[in-house]
Amino acid sequence: MNSAVVRNLLVRGMLAGLAAGLLAFGLAYLIGEPNVDAAISYEESHSHEHEMELVSRALQSTAGLATAVLVFGTAVGGIAALAFCFALGRIGRFSPRATAALLAGAAFATVYLVPSLKYPANPPAVGNPDTIGKRTTLYFLMIALTVLLAIGATILGRRLAGRLGNWNATIAAVIAFIAVITVAMVFLPAVNEVPDAFPATTLWQFRLASLGIQVLLWSSFGVIFGTLAERVLNPKPAAAPAPGTQAAAAH
């Protein structure tokens, strides 16, 4: 794949990520922000300290949320596009659309789903401010481990395919990934700073909303980018002019 094609796919990946981020922002605003407001109300009702807001809540829930989600979507779209360029043709004889869909699914699982099993999402108002650095480090460490182990499982599956066949090799690689990631989850420290009196319904709805936002982000990216990549890699031939048009042009 030459540099011009990679550059075109990178641009389209960022555009697809931006479009997916826009959809995710709409969902986050509709179903995520009400739970954030509920968590903040709980914190304010149980805290005797009232700090002055540097940024208003209205601005945080609109422009601030939109900026964060759109920047995130654009950035991961570009990274996913580069990963697509590397993966195309190396993970099987899949079309660009199928490769984009598989890549989006793998990204969702490794970047969000598996790490959230160990460190699930919590509303911003929940948690000890003094441990935010530790919690952030552990979460990103979990993401890095998941991504590296997923890459290792993919390599293992390819090496076993010649002896076991594609289906059995895939099963073996998945089992190996689950086993190693389970060990990692057991040995990594747990974090549970949700107050006992925190409303369980608010926490559940926030985590469900977080899951839905990520599903929408990655699924829409896979569809949009797959369509754009298909047009770059497999362009439709130009329609031949009708015979009558050619004759008229000759005269």
CA atoms within 13 A on the CB side of 88: 18
Q: How does pLDDT run along the chain (251 residues), one tens digit per residue? A: 677 888 889 999 999 999 999 999 999 888 888 877 777 776 667 665 555 566 666 677 678 788 889 999 999 999 999 998 888 877 767 788 898 999 999 999 999 999 999 988 887 767 677 777 888 888 999 999 999 998 888 888 888 878 888 788 889 989 999 999 999 999 998 888 777 777 888 888 888 999 999 999 999 999 999 999 888 887 766 555 555 555 555 55
Angle at 139 (CA atoms; ends 134, 143), nearest 5 degrees:
145
The predicted model scores a pTM of: 0.83
Query: Phi and psi (nearest 5°) for 191?
Result: -130, 120
